[in-house]
């Protein structure tokens, strides 16, 4: 039997991969961008945001959890898949309270950057306007649940890297929300410290460092000049 | 009340202080304390050494766990469409009025709360409710009055009339399984006599396919589990029968439980598993004691335990775990998460449970009915078994029939029976639609009643809800849409947000405020939920709605406004608070309907 080369097809391009890589990691390493939010190179695949949904041999699934296999035919950058991604972004926008002009994360926010890159022109759906809390009890960090997108990166970082379990996802359905593990439920009474991975992993503006607001001016932020697709690939190439 | 520690200690000790039993511990603790107070939470977290947030993540995920007081009597009305068609809404209103209560609020004296819950599996004898996890069936205004009196008199549940809690089997048509003469132990002995490999071969010959809905070949699952590397193996019986309109497993567990347990033992013989779990939905808690008693009998008869039926090395036993109000736990990986004491959120698949299941070990997860059918294969052999039904769907299938028909209950047919035949047998006089497969299934019109129940035609886990032609299908659509919005586990974006968007849009259409805009959005969302959701819940959440919108188009179109678009924001509704403060509700205090 001839051995199949470790290559799959992504929108017509040949993508080489190492066994064990997912479609997403292999594509990024090969310089092809697939939009994603909850996937993070430092953590195992999570597969909850579904932004990276691709069609593999005719079946849909998230590129971040599907292992690359020789000869796969993967579609990603198609009008219909990008339409699904736009709707998923719209869902994330209407589910929380995202007011970009007043957000410190604006310009460096993955949600906002993806919305620009995928040309999401409006939230489209009726806003949920949930009543979510702000927790400013911690000396170094502000917790603004209005902006949380339930990617659980803080949960994963605190549990798997910091070994602290500061955050957990609770509730279900549209009542899903992040809770803080402390006697009072407030961040100030938790063990979160400034060096924790969990404190710096939030892709949106839900966990914000205090006292450094607007140190980087609007216009000079991560995604202000290049779209997230290019910024991410440049990061990947480093 | 006894001190927290003295009541908790025996519960915690009973589970060996094992954090994987956290859900069971919380359930048992709630039985004692009525709710999980911060003090109870702190005591459990402290003793088990788990973060308090882990307990919160459970109490806030499972609908039947409470982190706020809900009273000594916690009443939950089953909210399936069949309960509604039988008048459940008026009955609940009656109870709320009698008890001077608001839905979902604790009474001022802290004694009682009344709310809705998802289908409790009593569709053939509804309307039904649960009081502290115990089902009360066949509700009438009079029975509601009696319940209100008992609550006011603070009568303990054990002193309520026993017939309130009677759950009937309603077996209307019995075939191979429900009608067979059966002697406990024969199936296990037959399997032992055949030997593990020969039993697996018979399973292959039988072509038995999973009865939970997906129709996966059971023998392949067993073989994969057997051959997967692992120190231990597990057999899980999925008795989380949460699909609205389905209640066959309830009857099998109530009156045929030996066959379920024997099926598990046979699966253990084939795979080499030594431990099994029956994951029983919380709504069926009333079955726990009889099932435990049955397990004890079977242990005494050496049908469970060590050297089962005298076979060297055939050691297997079963523990019962209870759910706590989460439909998603019917998904096998969510069920396993729940068994491990976590919120029931489906895992990434693959790997599948057959290779990586409970605690990462190879695990077989089978439906209640599937395991019963495995005992038939043991008894009569695979070839005889395959003689029933159709080529691709062998054997018989139990259907749960409810809704507008004279004889709701269980009907067992060989696969291949037509919908029309079932409708005739159950006495459906004027059926306008049949929902096959529960809320996550298909809605069929009379033109499709020639369809056959089989994996290759109309597959189903067994629910048939009959809608008389006078029924408003938009009410069914609303009921299902709200069900999924409530039951979405919240893990993935499309299902977490999408099911709520859909429920709101269907509400808007039902209220006569929907436009073509909503119907087009619903079509789009149907496609997106199906294609991008993490598990079957989101993928099938709009199946019925899609069918109804397409097949009952006039019913939907009648409700639409003539405008292309109607804003979602209702200015008049938004002024309700202002009217309340001003003490006005006259016409001039409302915006005209046409503004």
A162 and A204 assigned to the same domain = yes
In 3-state terms, chain A is what percent helix, strand and coil (to 5)? 30, 15, 55
CA-nearest of B417, B545, B425 to B482 is B545
A-B contacts at Cβ under 8 angstroms: 113
Is residue A226, in this structure, part of any structural domain at all?
Answer: no
A114 and A47 assigned to the same domain = no
B504 and B479 assigned to the same domain = yes
B195 and B291 assigned to the same domain = yes
Say if the Cβ atoms of A171 and B60 lie within 8 Å.
Answer: yes
Smallest Cβ–Cβ distance between B490 and the set A87, A91, A176 belongs to A176
Q: Which of A31, A57, A77 is the endpoint of a domain?
A: A77
B496 and B410 assigned to the same domain = no
Is residue B108, in this structure, part of any structural domain at all?
Answer: yes
% of chain A surpassing 90 pLDDT: 95
B178 and B158 assigned to the same domain = no
A70 and A102 assigned to the same domain = no
The Cα of B61 is separated from the nearest Cα of chain A by a number of Å equal to: 4
Is residue A230, in this structure, part of any structural domain at all?
Answer: no
B100 and B122 assigned to the same domain = yes
One DSSP character per residue, B503-552 reads HHHHHHHHTT---HHHHHHHHHHHHHHHHH-SSHHHHHTTHHHHHHHHHT
B555 or B443: which leads in pLDDT: B443
Is residue B565, in this structure, part of any structural domain at all?
Answer: no
The residue of chain B nearest to residue A191, with distances taken between CA atoms, is B51
Say if the Cβ atoms of B501 and A171 lie within 8 Å.
Answer: no
Q: Which of B168, B202, B220 is the endpoint of a domain?
A: B168
Number of domains in chain B: 5
The residue of chain B nearest to residue A59, with distances taken between CA atoms, is B531
A50 and A117 assigned to the same domain = no
Average pLDDT, chain B: 95
Beta strands A7-10; A73-75: pairing state = parallel
Do the Cβ atoms of B305 and B276 come closer than 8 Å?
no
Q: Which residues of B touch A92 (CB under 8 A)?
A: 493, 497
A105 and A172 assigned to the same domain = yes
A157 and A103 assigned to the same domain = yes
Q: Which residues of B touch A84 (CB under 8 A)?
A: 528, 531-532
The residue of chain A nearest to residue B530, with distances taken between CA atoms, is A60
Q: Which residues of A touch B490 (CB under 8 A)?
A: 150, 169, 171-176
Q: Which residues of A touch B531 (CB under 8 A)?
A: 53, 60, 84
* Three-class secondary structure assignment of B168-198: CCCEEECCCCCCCCCCCCHHHHHHHHHCHHH
pLDDT at B395 over 80: yes
Q: Which residues of A touch B542 (CB under 8 A)?
A: none
Neighbours of B513 (CB within 10 A): 17
Q: Which residue has the tokens 């020969």?
A: B198
Q: Which domain holds residue B29?
A: 4-59
B235 and B129 assigned to the same domain = no
Q: Which residues of A touch B67 (CB under 8 A)?
A: none
Residues A148 and A150: their CA atoms lie apart, in Å, by 6
Is residue A218, in this structure, part of any structural domain at all?
Answer: no
The 8-class DSSP code of residue B352 comes to P
The Cα of A235 is separated from the nearest Cα of chain B by a number of Å equal to: 26
CATH number of the structural domain spanning residue A57: 3.10.20.740
pLDDT at B2 over 60: no
The residue of chain A nearest to residue B485, with distances taken between CA atoms, is A173
B484 and B349 assigned to the same domain = no
Predicted pLDDT at A105: 96
The Cα of A197 is separated from the nearest Cα of chain B by a number of Å equal to: 19
Mean pLDDT (whole number) for B175-180:
95
Q: Complex ipTM, two decimals?
A: 0.96
Is residue B346, in this structure, part of any structural domain at all?
Answer: yes
Do the Cβ atoms of B331 and B324 come closer than 8 Å?
no
Mean pLDDT (whole number) for B495-509:
97
Is residue B308, in this structure, part of any structural domain at all?
Answer: yes
Q: Which residue has the tokens 């009677």?
A: B166
Is residue B574, in this structure, part of any structural domain at all?
Answer: no
The residue of chain B nearest to residue A64, with distances taken between CA atoms, is B348
Is residue B576, in this structure, part of any structural domain at all?
Answer: no
User: Which of B55, B68, B490 to probe by mutation at the A interface, max A CB count within 10 Å?
Assistant: B490
B219 and B345 assigned to the same domain = yes
Smallest Cβ–Cβ distance between A176 and the set B348, B485, B496 belongs to B496
Q: Which residues of B touch A125 (CB under 8 A)?
A: 501, 521
CATH number of the structural domain spanning residue A197: 3.30.70.20
Q: Which residues of A touch B499 (CB under 8 A)?
A: 173
Is residue B117, in this structure, part of any structural domain at all?
Answer: yes
The residue of chain A nearest to residue B531, with distances taken between CA atoms, is A60
CATH number of the structural domain spanning residue B89: 3.40.30.10
Residue B90 pLDDT grade (very low, low, confident, very high; cuts 50, 70, 90): very high
Mean pLDDT (whole number) for B82-110:
97
- Enumerate chain A positions whose Cβ falls within 8 A of a Cβ in B: 45, 47-51, 53, 60, 65, 84, 87-88, 91-92, 94-95, 125-126, 128, 150, 165, 167-176, 179-181, 183
Q: Which residues of B touch A170 (CB under 8 A)?
A: 53, 56-57, 60-61, 343
Q: Which residues of A touch B533 (CB under 8 A)?
A: 50
B47 and B84 assigned to the same domain = no
Q: Which residues of B touch A53 (CB under 8 A)?
A: 531-532
A67 and A106 assigned to the same domain = no
Residues B559 and B548: their CA atoms lie apart, in Å, by 14
Smallest Cβ–Cβ distance between B53 and the set A87, A175, A181 belongs to A181
> How would you class B4 by CB atoms within 10 Å of its CB: exposed for 0-12, middle for 13-18, buried for 19 or more?
middle
The 8-class DSSP code of residue A120 comes to -
CATH number of the structural domain spanning residue B455: 3.10.20.600
The Cα of B43 is separated from the nearest Cα of chain A by a number of Å equal to: 12
User: Which of A47, A49, A50, A82 to probe by mutation at the B interface, max B CB count within 10 Å?
Assistant: A50
The residue of chain B nearest to residue A126, with distances taken between CA atoms, is B568
Q: Which residues of A touch B494 (CB under 8 A)?
A: 50, 88, 91
Say if the Cβ atoms of B61 and A125 lie within 8 Å.
Answer: no
A105 and A173 assigned to the same domain = yes
The Cα of B543 is separated from the nearest Cα of chain A by a number of Å equal to: 17
B462 or B402: which leads in pLDDT: B402
B256 and B342 assigned to the same domain = yes
Residues B417 and B361: their CA atoms lie apart, in Å, by 39
Smallest Cβ–Cβ distance between B493 and the set A48, A65, A169 belongs to A48
Q: Averaged in consecutive runs of 10 residues, what is the pLDDT profile of chain A (238 residues)?
A: 81 96 97 97 96 97 97 97 98 97 95 98 95 96 97 97 96 96 94 97 97 92 96 90
pLDDT at B574 over 90: no
Average pLDDT, chain A: 95
Mean pLDDT (whole number) for B146-161:
97
Say if the Cβ atoms of A84 and B489 lie within 8 Å.
Answer: no
CA-nearest of B566, B583, B575 to B518 is B566
Say if the Cβ atoms of B528 and A84 lie within 8 Å.
Answer: yes
B186 and B138 assigned to the same domain = no
A96 and A169 assigned to the same domain = yes
Q: Which of B438, B471, B504 is the endpoint of a domain?
A: B471
Is residue A236, in this structure, part of any structural domain at all?
Answer: no
The Cα of A180 is separated from the nearest Cα of chain B by a number of Å equal to: 7
Number of domains in chain A: 2
Burial annotation A75-89 (CB, 10 A radius, 16+ → b, else e): bbbeeebbebbbbbb
Predicted pLDDT at B27: 97
The Cα of A66 is separated from the nearest Cα of chain B by a number of Å equal to: 9
pLDDT at B311 over 50: yes
Q: Which of A34, A53, A77 is the endpoint of a domain?
A: A77
Residues B74 and B31: their CA atoms lie apart, in Å, by 11
Q: Which residues of A touch B37 (CB under 8 A)?
A: none
Residue B571 pLDDT grade (very low, low, confident, very high; cuts 50, 70, 90): confident
The Cα of A215 is separated from the nearest Cα of chain B by a number of Å equal to: 32
Predicted pLDDT at B105: 96
Smallest Cβ–Cβ distance between A181 and the set B52, B496, B531 belongs to B52
pLDDT at B321 over 50: yes
Is residue B35, in this structure, part of any structural domain at all?
Answer: yes
Say if the Cβ atoms of B490 and A150 lie within 8 Å.
Answer: yes
pLDDT at B593 over 70: no
A113 and A71 assigned to the same domain = no
Residue B80 tokens, joined = 């399936």
The 8-class DSSP code of residue B348 comes to P
pLDDT at B550 over 70: yes
Q: Which of B471, B493, B509 is the endpoint of a domain?
A: B471
Say if the Cβ atoms of A84 and B52 lie within 8 Å.
Answer: no
A128 φψ region: left (φ > 0), alpha (ψ -120 to 50), beta (else): alpha
Predicted pLDDT at A23: 98
- Would you give the end-to-end CA distance of chain B in angstroms? 59
Q: Which residues of A touch B525 (CB under 8 A)?
A: 87
A66 and A88 assigned to the same domain = no
User: Which of A172, A179, A203 to probe by mutation at the B interface, max B CB count within 10 Å?
Assistant: A172
Q: Which domain holds residue A91?
A: 84-212
Residue A87 tokens, joined = 């709707």
Predicted pLDDT at B595: 43
A28 and A92 assigned to the same domain = no
B373 and B518 assigned to the same domain = no
Mean pLDDT (whole number) for B493-520:
95
User: Which of B60, B328, B349, B497 to probe by mutation at the A interface, max A CB count within 10 Å?
Assistant: B497
| Residue B229: C-alpha distances to residues B256, B355, B356 (Å) | 33, 8, 9
């Amino acid at each position: 039997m001839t051995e199949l080369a470790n290559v799959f097809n992504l929108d017509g391009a040949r993508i080489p991969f190492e066994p064990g890589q997912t479609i997403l990691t292999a594509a990024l390493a090969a310089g092809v961008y697939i939009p994603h939010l909850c996937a993070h190179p430092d953590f195992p695949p999570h597969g909850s945001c579904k932004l990276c949904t691709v069609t593999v041999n005719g079946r849909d699934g998230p590129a971040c959890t599907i292992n690359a296999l020789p000869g796969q035919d993967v579609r990603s950058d198609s009008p219909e898949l990008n339409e699904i991604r736009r709707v998923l972004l719209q869902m994330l926008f209407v589910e929380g309270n995202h007011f970009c002009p007043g957000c410190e994360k604006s310009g460096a926010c993955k949600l906002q950057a993806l919305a620009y890159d995928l040309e999401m022109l409006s939230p489209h759906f009726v806003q949920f306007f949930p009543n979510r809390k702000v927790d400013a009890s911690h000396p170094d960090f502000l917790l603004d649940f209005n902006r949380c997108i339930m990617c659980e990166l803080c949960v994963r970082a605190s549990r798997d890297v910091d070994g602290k379990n500061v955050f957990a996802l609770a509730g279900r359905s549209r009542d899903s929300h992040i809770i803080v593990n402390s006697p009072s439920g407030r961040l100030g009474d938790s063990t979160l410290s400034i060096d924790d991975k969990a404190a710096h992993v939030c892709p949106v503006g839900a966990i914000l460092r205090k006292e450094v607001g607007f140190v980087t001016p609007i216009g000079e932020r991560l995604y202000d000049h290049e779209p997230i697709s290019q910024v991410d690939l440049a990061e990947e190439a480093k | 009340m006894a001190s927290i520690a003295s009541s908790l200690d025996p519960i915690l000790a009973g589970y060996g202080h094992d954090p994987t039993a956290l859900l069971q511990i919380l359930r048992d603790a709630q039985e004692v304390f009525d709710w999980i107070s911060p003090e109870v939470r702190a005591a459990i977290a402290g003793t088990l050494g788990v973060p308090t947030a882990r307990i919160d993540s459970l109490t806030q995920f499972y609908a039947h766990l409470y982190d706020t007081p809900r009273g000594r009597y916690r009443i939950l009305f089953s909210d399936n469409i069949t309960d509604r068609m039988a008048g459940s809404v008026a009955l609940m209103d009656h109870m709320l009025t009698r008890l001077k209560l608001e839905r979902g609020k604790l009474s001022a004296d802290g004694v009682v709360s009344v709310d809705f819950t998802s289908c409790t599996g009593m569709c053939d004898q509804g309307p039904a409710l649960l009081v502290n996890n115990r089902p009360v069936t066949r509700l009438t205004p009079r029975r509601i009055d009696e319940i209100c009196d008992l609550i006011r008199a603070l009568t303990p549940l054990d002193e309520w009339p026993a017939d309130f809690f009677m759950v009937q089997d309603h077996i209307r048509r019995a075939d191979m399984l429900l009608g067979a003469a059966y002697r406990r132990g024969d199936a296990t002995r037959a399997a032992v006599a055949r030997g593990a490999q020969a039993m697996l071969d018979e399973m292959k010959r039988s072509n038995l396919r999973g009865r939970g809905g997906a129709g996966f070949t059971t023998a392949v699952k067993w073989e994969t589990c057997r051959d997967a590397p692992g120190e231990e193996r597990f057999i899980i019986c999925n008795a989380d029968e949460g699909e609205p309109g389905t209640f066959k497993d309830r009857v099998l567990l109530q009156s045929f439980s030996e066959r379920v347990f024997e099926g598990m033992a046979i699966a253990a013989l084939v795979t080499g598993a030594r431990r099994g779990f029956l994951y029983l939905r919380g709504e069926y808690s009333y079955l726990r004691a009889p099932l435990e008693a049955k397990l004890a009998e079977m242990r005494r008869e050496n049908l469970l335990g060590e050297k089962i039926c005298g076979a060297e090395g055939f050691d297997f036993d079963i523990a019962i775990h209870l759910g706590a109000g989460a439909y998603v736990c019917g998904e096998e990986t969510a069920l396993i998460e729940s068994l491990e004491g976590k919120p029931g959120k489906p895992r990434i698949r693959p790997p599948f449970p057959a290779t990586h299941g409970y605690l990462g070990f190879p695990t077989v997860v089978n439906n209640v009915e599937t395991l019963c059918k495995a005992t038939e294969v043991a008894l009569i052999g695979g070839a005889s078994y395959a003689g029933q039904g159709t080529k691709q769907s062998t054997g018989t299938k139990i259907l749960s029939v409810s809704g507008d028909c004279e004889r709701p209950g269980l009907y067992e047919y060989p696969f291949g029976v037509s919908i029309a035949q079932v409708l005739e047998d159950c006495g459906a006089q004027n059926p306008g639609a049949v929902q096959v497969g529960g809320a996550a299934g298909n809605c069929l019109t009379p033109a499709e009643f020639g369809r056959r129940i089989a994996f290759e035609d109309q597959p189903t886990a067994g629910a048939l809800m009959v809608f008389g032609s006078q029924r408003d299908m938009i009410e069914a659509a609303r009921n299902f849409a709200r069900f999924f919005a409530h039951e979405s586990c919240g893990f993935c974006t499309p299902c977490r947000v999408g099911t709520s968007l859909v429920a709101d849009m269907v509400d808007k259409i039902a209220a006569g405020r929907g436009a073509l805009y909503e119907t087009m959005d619903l079509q789009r969302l149907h496609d997106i939920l199906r294609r991008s959701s993490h598990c079957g819940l989101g993928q099938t959440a709009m199946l019925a709605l899609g069918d109804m919108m397409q097949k009952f188009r006039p019913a939907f179109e009648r409700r639409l406004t003539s405008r292309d678009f109607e804003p979602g924001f209702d200015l008049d509704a938004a002024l309700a608070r202002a009217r309340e403060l001003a003490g006005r509700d006259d016409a001039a205090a409302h915006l005209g309907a046409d503004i």
